[in-house]
Amino acid sequence: MSKSTWFIYPVIFLFALAPRLIGLQQFITADEAKWIYRSAQFWQALLVGNCAETMVTFKPAVTTMWTGGIGLWGYNLFHDNLPFLEFLHVIPLWDVNPAMLAAARLPTILLSCGSIVLIYHLSRYFLGEKTSFLAAILLAFDPLFLAHSRFLHHDALVTLFAVPAVLFAMHVDRLEVCPTWSIIFSGIFAGLSFLTKSPIFFLVPFVLWLFMRNATLNTIHTALTRFVLWACISYLTFFILFPATWLRPIGVPFDIITDALQVAQTSTGTLEQANKFDEDDEMDFQVSSRADLGILYYPVHFGFYISPIVFIGLLLFGYSHATLFVGEGLGRGALSLSLKQLRWGATKIFLIFIISFMIFMTFSHKRSARYILPVFPFATLVASVGWMRCGSNRTSLLVVALAAGQILTVMPYTPYYITYTNPLLGGSFTAPKLIKIGWGEGMDLAGAWLNQQPYAMANIVGADYASTLKPYFIGRVANPTSADLDYVISYHKQRQSLPKPILDYQSRILSPLHTVHYMGIDYAYIYSAPPIYPIDSKTIIAFHPDMNYLPIGQEFTVDVIWHELPPADVMFYMQEGDGNLMAESTYHMLSANVTRHMLVVPDTITSKEYILFINDISLGKYRARQVVVPSHFTSTNVQFGDEIRLMGFNPNLTIHDGSITVDLAFQVTPKSWHDYTLFVHVIDDNGNRLTGYDALPNPSTSQWLKGEVIIISQTVPMPKDLADDDYQLRVGWYHAGTGQDLGDGFELLTMPQ
């Protein structure tokens, strides 16, 4: 490097850094909350000297947890400022605040920017200054690499370690440098790769091939010696940075490789099962709205995630080489190619890595586009060669134009770079039909809409990617099939795996309250609860009730989705646990395979659980709830604080010998945040309490459900020596722990003498 070009390094770094710092708090991917928690586990074990417990996962993702822990240390330093070990101990699973998320991501971002600079530096020898600079800018703004290098995850990390490992290994054959140093640095980066993700053990045979590819009988010993040195350096790096190996130097690598083989065959590794963490890895099976790609899975995903400039550059590179064989087209002179370059040029090594790594990953039972992220830097290098050989006369202008084009391509997706799909292949129109879409992006926008709804803090939302919604929603997030939900989010990626009848029902019959739409794709559909419940039956696929409880005295409706046409006679009914039939229903057809059933819940039943049936197929237990004030009650609308409302009362008191009983109807509005004590007092005209009774209701107020009317019968003792006079019944609530009243008491009625 000449002194006049030193500034290129910080320029590349800053170009790479700028788009990665935008909107770091805006959304969280499906796995990042887990990796923040795992980083905390790793660092806790590290700081207390428990080496065995640093084996948090078999991925092994050690570098992910190192970088995550460094980010957490920085966050704690500037926010909580607790003793670091104490801070790590209180980090919850699946629940991360956006500021902590941004801090945990930052080390990966800085490493990614540094790696792009290093790739530029190492590729200059093979490709030249301008071509390498173009490749660096294209990589800095490569949509998929840009997206993942902003996440606390291992796919970008394994990429930024594996690519320099290969490039350093390619430098071993340079005559003007000491091969030992290239071997050492390649080994260090390979060791970091092995610490990050087990499939990158692919580097072992690949680097062996690199060292052996030009070996002869006279030099094969040298090549093997270099490989052994490389392997030793790789293992030494692995050993130093992974404390679990200090106790089991051979056992830990063996377990990681064994688990990787098991995961490739069965999709779930042993330690993952023990930890019960749901990975966002996808299985390559036939689903309703996405084609089964088979062995074309990775080529298709690769095509959809590279930029148009890289896509065209690869085509130009391929075309330029094809013309050398047929002697047509652009010709040898225009492309300045030689047969020597064609045979064993650096670009051929890059292409061999791209093709062989995608083939290698295809054998795995678990597949995801991000698994082949290490091929994308090599693709930008090859594409840059393709472009530069076509514009050899005005290379500087071409570099500027292509860099600007790459930046303009990706900037509209800021900061949701992960939503990019290649417009040359149809972009957002064709991508959902062929590849899985969505890894949590858009859930922050769903949370923003939910926060604007009435009583948002008290609402419960069901979502598959719960950890992607929690940081952005002020209410509670639960499993999408939980009871007592207020809203349900149907996310695009899950919708792509739905059976076609359920997807048709969602699309044609249900109407979402809100749809999160971004860059041509509907990422999240928000519906009123309850959700659609799948069912294990030969005839029924799923059912969808209109409520998650049985409204006493009201109509209850359920839609049933059948595999095919429903039988001629369909019965929908409810039973008590002892088998007594409580109610039957009527129904009509909504579509060829969907029936809607309606029954009136008897007003004589009590608030307990009943079983619903379609013919002899159980739909599960549902609790009956009082949702309206009984007709013989006097209606009121008295609010106690912002939490409890008196809906009505029975004006006919029940008079006993020495006591009276009053029936009260309450409802939470929409939630009681504490357990309050109910009081019913008898007061005189001066407001003096003469007698009364205070009690915690059962269930307690914090357990009351939104919309349910709670009938409480409160008995008040009456003194025998009470003078004949007009007295008032005062009703109210207070917090027993603090003595604080919940609003003002209410004079319910004047008691008869």
For residues 413 and 302, membership in a common domain is answered with: yes
Secondary structure letter of residue 653 according to DSSP? P
CB 72 within 8 A of CB 87: yes
Residue 232 burial (CB count, 10 A): 14
For residues 575 and 613, membership in a common domain is answered with: yes
For residues 410 and 447, membership in a common domain is answered with: no
Tell which of 599, 625, 651 closes a domain.
625
Closest CA to 589 of 554, 561, 619: 561
- What does the pLDDT read at residue 267? 53
Does residue 152 form part of some domain?
Answer: no
Residues whose CB falls within 8 Å of the CB of residue 269, separated by 6 or more in sequence, listed in order: 58, 259, 260, 262, 263
Does residue 462 form part of some domain?
Answer: yes
Does residue 639 form part of some domain?
Answer: yes
Taking the C-alpha atoms of 330, 336, 337 and 339 in order, what is their torsion angle to the nearest 10 degrees?
Answer: 110
Does residue 605 form part of some domain?
Answer: yes
One-character DSSP codes across 346-386: HHHHHHHHHHHHHHHHHTSSEE-GGGGTTHHHHHHHHHHHH
Closest CA to 112 of 20, 215, 192: 20
**Stretches in the chain below the pLDDT threshold 50:** 269-288, 325-340, 342-344
Helix (H) or strand (E) holding 589: strand 586-591
Residue 531 burial (CB count, 10 A): 21
CA 713-547-554 angle, 5° bins = 55
For residues 334 and 298, membership in a common domain is answered with: yes
Does residue 113 form part of some domain?
Answer: no
Structure tokens at 489: 């989010």
Angle in degrees, 0-180, between the axes of helices 62-78 and 154-170, rounded to the nearest 10: 120
Rounded Cα–Cα distance for residues 118 and 121 (Å): 5
Question: How would you class 711 by CB atoms within 10 Å of its CB: exposed for 0-12, middle for 13-18, buried for 19 or more?
Answer: middle
For residues 655 and 720, membership in a common domain is answered with: yes
Q: What residues are paired with 282 via a beta bridge?
A: 367
pLDDT tens-place string over residues 80-139: 889 999 999 999 888 899 999 999 999 999 999 999 999 999 999 898 899 999 999 999
One-character DSSP codes across 95-115: ---HHHHHHHHHHHHHHHHHH
Rounded Cα–Cα distance for residues 65 and 44 (Å): 11
DSSP strand pairing (460-462 vs 487-491): parallel
Rounded Cα–Cα distance for residues 261 and 121 (Å): 35
CA atoms within a 13 Å half-sphere pointing along the CA-CB vector of 338: 5
Rounded Cα–Cα distance for residues 310 and 376 (Å): 9
Peptide bond into 670 cis (omega under 30): yes
- What does the pLDDT read at residue 273? 39
Rounded Cα–Cα distance for residues 726 and 576 (Å): 46
- What does the pLDDT read at residue 354? 97
- What does the pLDDT read at residue 576? 84
Does residue 208 form part of some domain?
Answer: no
Does residue 159 form part of some domain?
Answer: no
Dihedral sign from CA coordinates of 215, 219, 225, 230: negative
For residues 518 and 590, membership in a common domain is answered with: no
For residues 648 and 712, membership in a common domain is answered with: yes
Tell which of 528, 550, 582 closes a domain.
528
Alpha carbon of residue 602 to chain centroid:
43
Alpha carbon of residue 54 to chain centroid:
24
Rounded Cα–Cα distance for residues 511 and 157 (Å): 42
CA 488-33-281 angle, 5° bins = 75
For residues 486 and 554, membership in a common domain is answered with: no
Peptide bond into 531 cis (omega under 30): no
CATH number at residue 547: 2.60.40.1930
Tally of domains within the chain? 4
Q: How many residues belong to the chain?
A: 753
Closest CA to 318 of 238, 219, 393, 385: 385
Does residue 468 form part of some domain?
Answer: yes
For residues 665 and 727, membership in a common domain is answered with: yes
pTM above 0.85, yes or no: yes
Residues whose CB falls within 8 Å of the CB of residue 335, separated by 6 or more in sequence, listed in order: 320, 323, 389, 390, 392
Alpha carbon of residue 260 to chain centroid:
23
Rounded Cα–Cα distance for residues 130 and 115 (Å): 18
Residue 175 burial (CB count, 10 A): 5
- What does the pLDDT read at residue 656? 85
CA atoms within a 13 Å half-sphere pointing along the CA-CB vector of 682: 22
For residues 522 and 611, membership in a common domain is answered with: no
Q: For residue 105, which phi and psi values (nearest 5 degrees)?
A: -80, -25
Tell which of 502, 528, 554 closes a domain.
528
Helix (H) or strand (E) holding 541: strand 540-545
Rounded Cα–Cα distance for residues 505 and 524 (Å): 16
Peptide bond into 699 cis (omega under 30): yes
Rounded Cα–Cα distance for residues 710 and 704 (Å): 8
CATH number at residue 700: 2.70.50.60
Secondary structure letter of residue 208 according to DSSP? H
SS (H, E, C) 451-468: HCCCCHHHCEEECCCHHH
For residues 410 and 300, membership in a common domain is answered with: yes
Q: Whole domain around residue 373: which residue ranges?
A: 130-146+294-417
Residue 633 burial (CB count, 10 A): 19
